[in-house]
Structure 1
Amino acid sequence: MTAATSRRAHSFNAAAAQYAAHRPSYPPALLDAVEHLAGRPLAGARVLDVGAGTGIATALLVDRGADVVAVEPGDGMGREFRRTLPDTPLVRGDGDHLPFTDGSADLITYAQAWHWTDQERSVPEALRVLRPGGALALWWNIADHTLPWLSAQDARIARCLGFDDGARRTADRTSELTTALDFRRDRIRWSRRIPLDSHLANIGSHSAFLVLGKERTAAFLTEERTELLKVFPDEIVEESYVVDLLLAIRPTP
């Protein structure tokens, strides 16, 4: 991990409460798709949720009856996780160095986190820790940029940051993964309606803005609020997403 990437990865710790309050969760259909592609129910499954952050995905897995252990390297994110999920086991670690024995997991999940790993390490680690027939599931919430207002916002963000930090880069990353492992893929569309200020706080919780600096981020979000009021004068924003899910089964001997 480069110094710049490391800085972005660690930037979430100072904004963990903002992250927990404003980042989107995932629709029930996503977990249905995980069960379908994995060929087994989540209830009773031994699941490692890696890069668990504040526990957004972990909570959904627990609600499905999975036996979940969360893995998170960050102090700030870990403290927020403990506040919201005090009874769920949480261990310090990351996907490049999983602190678990061989063949000990039925499912390893990465919600919005796989891109922070070194795949030359995280792929062998996942295969080591998974039992034969177990599954590695990766997913991302990607804003639906087929909608004109989201496409326009993406362009404004790109101009502010000096590069495109949006969904297309994530899509490129995940398409490359299919050549490294035998992934099955599904995409789930969903949306949520939230106050405009929460939508802006969601934008501000992304690492590119967390490292941009408070003044520049605040200036962008002030201008963005003006732009979005033209589209959402009632100050209620409908965020539309496509969850990009990739799941690979560890071969049995």
Structure 2
Amino acid sequence: MTAPSHTDRARSFDAAAAQYAANRPSYPPALFDAIEELAGRPLTGARVVDVGAGTGIATALLRTRGADVLAVEPGDGMASQFRRTNPDIPIVRGNGNALPVATAYADFITYAQAWHWTDPAHSVPEALRVLRPGGALALWWNTTPLDIPWHAAQADRIGRRFGAHPVVEQNGSGARAALADPTDSLAFTSRKVRWSRRVPIDTHLANIGSHSIFLVHGTEASNAFLAEEKQLLLTAFPTGIIEETYDVDLLVATTS
């Protein structure tokens, strides 16, 4: 099978938007505390543009934090799911390489699990255009900590079957790529926030199955792997409940 392109993987989420919304992990309150600390300003009352908003997992949390949030999302399926889940939050179609937002509009621009789908040669200048002076660009990813044995073993099984685990989720390469800003315009400060959630094994499998590397390899290959994985996990976790642990890799840069 030909290796799926970056574009194929970016577009794959639209067909699995409901699965994504129902099973993907959220983010802990400590993440938003860290964003405010590194940005030097509160989210409450701030004007926030959440780019690559997807189904609105992060967008809704930003709203709950007291922010005035505008979502930006390129995908048809994801935007439709967003509207069903968050009917009171405005959303516009677009992407980070050409933001459909006025200059000096935002106090924060946020990317949850999304910056790696942009081209920083375009998305960095766009962020600088849309941010007000003293505004902040915040990027974050839920990543899989490989110091936890069962996570490491599962990542190895995924890698052996599909050629590569989704690297952003596995080891924070998306965050490292952001630090290598080709425009040399931003000075990022980083923070790592560890958290966990307890979920049924089926939720865990639906979560990992919503990642692009599974979606682009097709239903047959993905379902076969996930069926095998379920049996292995039931042996390791006979109660059927699993604790997923995450390290949120956070990067924040402020404008002058």
Give the TM-score taking structure 2 as reference length.
0.94
CA contact (8 A) 1:107 1:136 kept: yes
Q: State the partner residue of 2:154.
A: 153
Runs of 4+ aligned residues of structure 1 deviating over 4 Å after TM superposition are: 167-170
CA contact (8 A) 2:166 2:211 kept: no
After TM superposition, the structure 1 = structure 2 runs for residues 23-172 of structure 1, keeping only pairs within 5 Å, are 23-167=24-168, 171-172=172-173
Distance in 1, matches of 2:225 and 2:62, equals 35
Q: State the partner residue of 1:217.
A: 222
Q: Secondary structure at the match of 2:5?
A: helix
Q: Does 1:226 align with 2:226?
A: no
Which of the numbers 239, 244, 248 marks the counterpart of 1:243? 248
Residue 167 (structure 1) shift: 4.8
Residue 172 (structure 1) shift: 3.0
Distance in 2, matches of 1:167 and 1:179, equals 15
CA contact (8 A) 1:47 1:68 kept: yes
**Letter paired with 2:34:** A
Distance in 2, matches of 1:75 and 1:176, equals 27
Q: Size of the alignment, in residue pairs?
A: 250
Question: Unaligned regions of 5+ residues in structure 2, if any?
Answer: none
Residue 230 (structure 1) shift: 1.9
- Structure-2 change in CA distance of 1:106 and 1:147 (3 Å): same
Q: State the partner residue of 2:213.
A: 208
CA contact (8 A) 1:104 1:129 kept: yes
Distance in 2, matches of 1:15 and 1:118, equals 24
Residue 145 (structure 1) shift: 1.3
Distance in 1, matches of 2:170 and 2:146, equals 12
Q: Secondary structure at the match of 2:138?
A: strand
Distance in 2, matches of 1:65 and 1:231, equals 41
Distance in 2, matches of 1:167 and 1:145, equals 13
Q: What is the aligned-residue identity percentage?
A: 62
- Structure-2 change in CA distance of 1:170 and 1:123 (3 Å): farther
Q: What's the CA shift string for 1:72-113, capped at 9, x where partnerless?
A: 011100011001110111000000000112111000000000
Distance in 1, matches of 2:191 and 2:251, equals 7
CA RMSD of aligned residues (A): 1.4
Distance in 2, matches of 1:228 and 1:145, equals 17
Distance in 1, matches of 2:51 and 2:142, equals 16
Distance in 2, matches of 1:144 and 1:219, equals 25
Residue 170 (structure 1) shift: 5.0
